[in-house]
Structure 1
Amino acid sequence: MPQTLAFTKGHGTGNDFVILPDAEGALALTDDQVAALCDRRFGIGGDGILRVVRSTAIDEGADAAASGAEWFMDYRNADGSKAEMCGNGIRVFARYLDETGLASLDAGPLAIGTRAGVKTLTRSDLGLEVDLGVFRVDETEVLVRARGLGVARPGVGIDVGNPHVVVALFTPAELEGLDLTVQPVLEPVPPHGANVEFVVPADPLVQGGVGSIRMRVFERGVGETLSCGTGVAAAALAVRHWAGRGAPDDWTVDVPGGRLGVRMREGRVLLSGPATLVFSGDVALA
């Protein structure tokens, strides 16, 4: 007999997720089951799965539980693979906890466990803001080949809890001309893969002390998505790195699914944006 699961569908700037409540950690999804749930024709459809589990009920949540984070975001990409973090996903996860009464965003910063450590969320003008923590710039050059680019372009590695490679393009036309139905090729290949962001600076780059860029992204284990929260943060960090001394700490990043905000404070990066719950239902799991 198929198992019936309750679910909620949510998204952050079009980066969409199937949310599965599993407080006591009883659900063990195979990669194929995750892929079936995320299938946009035969399943619910989504860029990934957010399993809502208590930190004490998952082996990977031990450190989160010890730090006082009651809930752990077990994030799986659409192909079933595990991911360290998801900047849009964790805002949607926090919205779900708040709206279902499992936690409150009005009781102070909300701590949530992830494979990239505990992250805290608060309300913001754009919706919710997550402190992604410290970041790391890897200046080892990576060559990126993508369909629609005539030659390979150099990329910079940015780690914000999960790995990214950011590539600068010259014009909006180059950005729009990319064919991201095909996975970009990285040389050398990162040991755990990477999300790849393609960015175009605004003209002018900075207005009123705030930087502005446009971005498209190919997410490992998913493909092109309308948005990628950690990718947005990585893209802003990369452009700030390239701009050098005097570059702003506040950025807006436009993606196909909308606009997000990025702030750098004392070596940490914070991401803000909307998080929306769309509908709930039940689904039969084969």
Structure 2
Amino acid sequence: MPFDLRFTKGQGTGNDFVLFSDPEGDTELTPTQIAAVCDRRFGVGADGVIRAVRSRNLDDGAAALSEDPAAVWFMDYWNADGTVSEMCGNGIRVFVSYLLDQGLAELPAGGAIAIGTRAGVRTVRRSTDGFQADLGPWRLAGGEPLVRGKELPVARPGLGIDVGNPHVVVALADDEELEAVDLNYQPVLDPVPEAGANVEFVVPAEPLVEDGIGRIRMRVHERGSGETLSCGTGAVASALAVRYWAGAGAPNDWRVQVPGGVLGVRMFEAADGEHVVLSGPAELVFDGVLTLA
């Protein structure tokens, strides 16, 4: 039976989402419905769908509450093709903005809010340009698979990095190569990661470091969504990869230019290892009602 879905469209550096509130967990969309909502011609159009559900009402939320009882809200994130995803760096900032706008949560100045995700609990604070999210510890993962991108003449080695979801970062020679790669086609990884991966192509700025801040450009093909204007966790993975390649003396503060804007990445030591913080804007664009079958 058809029903009306009340939603909000939001975006963070052009990475856009359809968000809806379902505190009790009563409205679980099917993968087909999610793909229909995200369709840019016949639906609302988005890189993913985010459901705001109380952690206590979701199986995945139980683990979040076990990790941190303050994680009252769970970010139930789905890619544009209807597949589930562990985490979204731009999405979590937009998600917090949505919770505040809807009166579902409060975030006083200097305070923090814990959000449950499938990658674990993530902490979000306000920043000068929007919000900053502590994405927790990261790790090298998957070695150096070969990556073939359409319009790149030869396969390039990538670096596997896990920031709660899987990434493979590829360094290119210059802006011309970055513009040439055709991300309408999914890059081919060899070997193929078991859970797939987001693939980032990066070019260091010249100079790489200015005023103590590292600078890179990035384009991304997101697992389950295709090329997007931005990927928050991809920006984090790219900064980590370039710092790794640059070696000793590379900074812990980075600015990552994506087609949709600029994101900030900062690394710092914590008791459980090195954490990464992502900062950037979050905008709620419009509200609407969509009838779904």
TM range (shorter): over 0.9
Tell me if structure 2 keeps the 8 A contact 1:51–1:74: yes
Instruction: After superposition, give the CA deviation of every residue in 1:30-65 in whole Å (9 maximum; x if it has no partner).
Output: 111000000001000100000000000100000222
Query: Partner of 1:75 in structure 2?
Result: 77
Q: Which amino acid aligns with 1:128?
A: F
Matches of residues 208-223 of structure 1 in structure 2 within 5 Å?
208-223=211-226
Matches of residues 111-150 of structure 1 in structure 2 within 5 Å?
111-138=114-141, 140-150=143-153
Tell me if structure 2 keeps the 8 A contact 1:17–1:49: yes
SS in 2 for 1:42: coil
Instruction: After superposition, give the CA deviation of every residue in 1:177-229 in whole Å (9 maximum; x if it has no partner).
Output: 11100000000000000000000000000001000000000001010000000
Instruction: Work out the CA distance in 1 between the residues paired with 2:152 and 2:126.
Output: 39
Q: Where do 4+ consecutive residues of structure 1 move more than 2 Å?
A: none
RMSD: 0.9
Query: Partner of 1:174 in structure 2?
Result: 177
Instruction: Work out the CA distance in 2 between the residues paired with 1:86 and 1:217.
Output: 13
Matches of residues 20-59 of structure 1 in structure 2 within 5 Å?
20-59=20-59
Tell me if structure 2 keeps the 8 A contact 1:211–1:250: yes
Instruction: Work out the CA distance in 2 between the residues paired with 1:168 and 1:235.
Output: 9
Cα offset, 1:138, TM superposition: 3.0
Tell me if structure 2 keeps the 8 A contact 1:126–1:260: no
Q: Which amino acid aligns with 1:112?
A: I
1:157 alignment partner, one of 137, 155, 160 = 160
1:95 alignment partner, one of 81, 97, 101 = 97
Instruction: After superposition, give the CA deviation of every residue in 1:78-105 in whole Å (9 maximum; x if it has no partner).
Output: 0110000000000000000111111112
2:227 alignment partner, one of 224, 229, 248 = 224
SS in 2 for 1:103: coil
Tell me if structure 2 keeps the 8 A contact 1:146–1:152: yes
Cα offset, 1:137, TM superposition: 1.4
Instruction: Work out the CA distance in 1 between the residues paired with 2:15 and 2:57.
Output: 27
Cα offset, 1:139, TM superposition: 6.5
Query: Partner of 2:258 in structure 1?
Result: 255
Q: Which amino acid aligns with 1:143?
A: L
Q: Which amino acid aligns with 2:237?
A: A
Q: Does 1:183 align with 2:178?
A: no
Q: Does 1:84 align with 2:96?
A: no
In the alignment, structure 1 segments of 5+ residues that lack a partner are: none
Tell me if structure 2 keeps the 8 A contact 1:262–1:271: yes
In the alignment, structure 2 segments of 5+ residues that lack a partner are: none
- Identity percentage of aligned residues: 65
Cα offset, 1:126, TM superposition: 2.2
Describe the shift of the 1:139–1:30 C-alpha distance in structure 2 as closer, same or farther (beyond 3 A).
closer
Q: Which amino acid aligns with 2:105?
A: A
Tell me if structure 1 keeps the 8 A contact 2:220–2:230: yes
Tell me if structure 1 keeps the 8 A contact 2:142–2:193: no
Q: Does 1:273 align with 2:276?
A: no
Query: Partner of 2:197 in structure 1?
Result: 194
Instruction: Work out the CA distance in 2 between the residues paired with 1:237 and 1:45.
Output: 31
Query: Partner of 1:284 in structure 2?
Result: 291
Instruction: After superposition, give the CA deviation of every residue in 1:99-151 in whole Å (9 maximum; x if it has no partner).
Output: 11111121611000000000000011221000000000137121000001000
Instruction: Work out the CA distance in 1 between the residues paired with 2:55 and 2:124.
Output: 17
Greater CA drift, 64-73 or 39-48: 64-73
Q: Which amino acid aligns with 2:14?
A: G
Give the TM-score of the pair, scaled to structure 2: 0.96
Instruction: Work out the CA distance in 2 between the residues paired with 1:252 and 1:139.
Output: 25
Instruction: After superposition, give the CA deviation of every residue in 1:145-186 in whole Å (9 maximum; x if it has no partner).
Output: 000100000000010000000000000000001110000000
